[in-house]
Amino acid sequence: NAGVTQTPKFQVLKTGQSMTLQCAQDMNHEYMSWYRQDPGMGLRLIHYSVGAGITDQGEVPNGYNVSRSTTEDFPLRLLSAAPSQTSVYFCASSYRSEDTGELFFGEGSRLTVL
Amino acid sequence: RKEVEQDPGPFNVPEGATVAFNCTYSNSASQSFFWYRQDCRKEPKLLMSVYSSGNEDGRFTAQLNRASQYISLLIRDSKLSDSATYLCVVNNNQGGKLIFGQGTELSVKP
């Protein structure tokens, strides 16, 4: 049972490069989301989706794009990487969107932007 | 003011101690509350939900005070394996957004 799978686990980018963090879940969850975690800041919501074809912005959406073409996949795209986007990124999913109590997280993607 | 605030700690306690973490939230319309646990360099995992009447799960007790917009987590008889960061999480009822506090670090020493 894979749960939530994120790739890559580690990535180093140069300023201005673009990349996509992949996230897939095999639990048929409606709700998927992306968080970033920085020291002393906790997890901050970037974007989320309550179902295929539906996405919305979280607290810190600038510099990131998402799409949800299938229930299983929710990729996060960095359009033009900046050093401020150096962080640990977590993808998470939940069965129901209206009561997202138990989020299931991926193992995280550690991104460094030079 | 942050939507969810916690004392970052660290809390350093001996094995067997009782330790309490507090969390405040700013949105009075929030309906759902949770505690998550995060081990070093790992993903967060749900520890327990917090119900209005308070709830207990073994050595862990969670309390909610809606009037004061305050959540607590009590850990009794601390174990070395309880060492982790504890995250307070609130559903602010705006389309299912879960808001995380910055976490409280606990270190249990022998």
The answer to whether A50 contacts B44, with C-beta atoms less than 8 Å apart, is no
Q: Which residues from B are below 8 Å from A108, CB to CB?
A: 41-43
Q: Distance between CA atoms of A95 and A98, rounded to whole angstroms?
A: 9
For residue A40, the model assigns a pLDDT of 78
% pLDDT > 70, chain A: 95
Average pLDDT on A86-108 reads 86
For the ranges B16-25, B60-69, B88-97, B101-110, the lowest mean pLDDT is seen at: B88-97
pLDDT of B1 over the 80 cut: no
Pair B46, B34: CB distance under 8 Å: yes
Does residue A44 have a pLDDT over 80? yes
Residues of chain B with C-beta less than 8 angstroms from the C-beta of A41: 102
Per-residue model confidence as pLDDT tens digits over B65-98: 999 999 999 999 999 999 999 999 998 766 557 8
Number of Cβ within 10 Å of residue B46's Cβ equals 16
- Determine contact, residues A61/A78, Cβ cutoff 8 Å: no
| CB < 8 Å to A42, chain B | 4, 87, 100-103
Tens digit of each residue's pLDDT (9 = 90 or more) over A65-86: 999 999 999 999 999 999 999 9
Can you give the pLDDT at residue B98? 83
Tell me which chain B residue has its CA closest to the CA of residue A55: B95
- Give pLDDT, residue A41: 80
Average pLDDT, chain A: 93
B14 vs chain A: nearest CA distance in angstroms?
A: 24
Smallest Cα distance from B15 to chain A, Å: 26
Taking residue B87's Cβ as centre, other Cβ atoms within 10 Å add up to 26
* Residue among B41, B44, B96 whose CB faces A31 most closely: B96
DSSP for B35-104 reads EEEE-TTS--EEEEEE-TT-EEETTEEEEEETTTTEEEEEE-S--GGG-EEEEEEEE-SSSS-EEE---E
On the question of pLDDT at A104 being above 70, the answer is yes
User: What are the chain A neighbours of B45 within 8 Å (beta carbons)?
Assistant: 105
- CB contact, 8 Å: B80 with chain A? no
pLDDT band of residue A95 (cuts 50, 70, 90) is confident
State which amino acid sits at residue B99: I
A101–B46 CB contact, under 8 Å: yes
How confident is the model at residue A1, as a pLDDT? Answer: 66
Tell if the CB–CB gap between A100 and B98 is shorter than 8 Å: yes
- For B34, name the nearest residue in chain A, comparing CA atoms only: A101
Residue B95 pLDDT? 59
Residue A23 has pLDDT above 90, yes or no: yes
